[in-house]
Structure 1
């Protein structure tokens, strides 16, 4: 019997497996994975020393906790052939964007948990929104402890999961684009790619840690670094002029809207 099963070996499935094994909370030998692509399964087995199979049924029947890490459009064709394998004692953790707990319960039995992680879970630095149906408090703590292996976990009402998807689920892509812009700006000013990249990445990492550790509002920290008539206030004015903040808000709104569409 495996402790954790993962159906789907794409980017998020791998992020879950790598995050769990790296945290030491789950032994690699306690994890079994499956995917329609045998090459992906083989790669996961080689990289993380987990068990692999082409049978989703085997994963469900032999795991206490099952991560459903398939694309939302593949949900029905994944679970329908094996729906009788999902019993009421199974804990099903869905990472499918837009698929509501009620919809999952219409197809399979089990204790359904809905999670929206993001790819930094690969290194245990993910941001995860989680929603529960009615659940035993001890089982809930067990699941939260498991998910904390992947990063920071924030419990939200399910109706807000689409917003979580738009903010943190898709959010790394927005940050990558911002970092890319910083690097390109540095290169334009004469730095090498290596120099600009090291400075840009650490700038974003350090700024994020400063917000987390001080608890101060981002605008307060921004004002602290904006000296009168200095370089930063000129740059901030240009970012406002170009609509950086509005663009980010719009990006979150668009991703949220798309998540809602996927659930319909």
Structure 2
């Protein structure tokens, strides 16, 4: 069986590991290495904690999932032996990765947190991989959701509309739920109602041949209450507010 090795066990690593386990990847085929938390994660999930070099030796794919500023310190004494290496280190380019780990088999990935439920959206850019490594990479990300190969210079945009966007969706849900609670529902009930509505609406769009704008128009009858709400969104420049937040996200990632 394919073995996946995680150097680092932060939030994104845990999200990916949980997604793999939900897809029936055996805990013994998931290897982890971290000075402080690998043993604890092994006790919790049954994955295998190993020293970093031993993890590399036993893995078919190595996932770099520590803090970006730790790249040189962690990798300087390691031999990656031309293993395929996937990095989820924010802001670290393919060139920088190649300089640090001395291998040509590199994938730079930008997943969002929904990989934990196998509903992730991931951007990928990579060096030219040998065919066997290409298959390992495709298999790994297909287990966790959908992936899109995009140019590396578009990663900041992708990060804003996919990586950061779950937080913005949660904020929208929270705002809707608070409005429902202000009008008499309990906050817990309003949150449950809004959450299910968002799930259903997203699935409707995903399974439709219509655009989001067209579906808005189908729900909002002319002169009806939904149209009144959409008109108010427009008067409040809702689209501009979202665009402004996305630009702020992109600008911050370039600091």
Normalised-by-shorter TM-score class: over 0.9
The answer on 1:94 being equivalent to 2:87 is: yes
When the two structures are superposed, what TM-score results if normalisation uses the length of structure 2? 0.93
Q: Which runs of 4 or more aligned residues in structure 1 lie more than 4 Å from their structure 2 counterparts after TM superposition? A: none
Query: Could you tell me which of 104, 108, 116 is aligned with 2:101?
Result: 108
Higher relative CO (CA 8 A, sep ≥ 6), structure 1 or 2?
1
CA distance in structure 1 between the partners assigned to 2:246 and 2:138 by the alignment:
26
CA distance in structure 2 between the partners assigned to 1:36 and 1:220 by the alignment:
52
How many Å apart are 1:146 and its aligned residue? 1.2
Gaps of 5+ in 2: none
Matched ranges for 1:92-241 at <5 A: 92-110=85-103, 111-241=105-235
The answer on 1:4 being equivalent to 2:10 is: no
- Which residue in the other structure is 2:72 paired with? 76
Superposed CA offset, 1:34-91 (max 9, x none): 2232xx32332133210113x3233223222111011222222221232xx1122x01
Retained in 2: the 8 A contact 1:97–1:165?
Answer: no
How many Å apart are 1:100 and its aligned residue? 0.7
SS in 2 for 1:36: coil
SS in 2 for 1:32: strand
Retained in 2: the 8 A contact 1:92–1:113?
Answer: yes
- Which residue in the other structure is 2:26 paired with? 27
CA distance in structure 2 between the partners assigned to 1:72 and 1:165 by the alignment:
16
How many Å apart are 1:138 and its aligned residue? 4.3
CA distance in structure 2 between the partners assigned to 1:222 and 1:57 by the alignment:
53
CA distance in structure 2 between the partners assigned to 1:47 and 1:163 by the alignment:
35
Matched pairs, number: 254
Gaps of 5+ in 1: none
Retained in 1: the 8 A contact 2:20–2:144?
Answer: yes
CA-based RMSD: 1.8
Retained in 1: the 8 A contact 2:71–2:100?
Answer: no
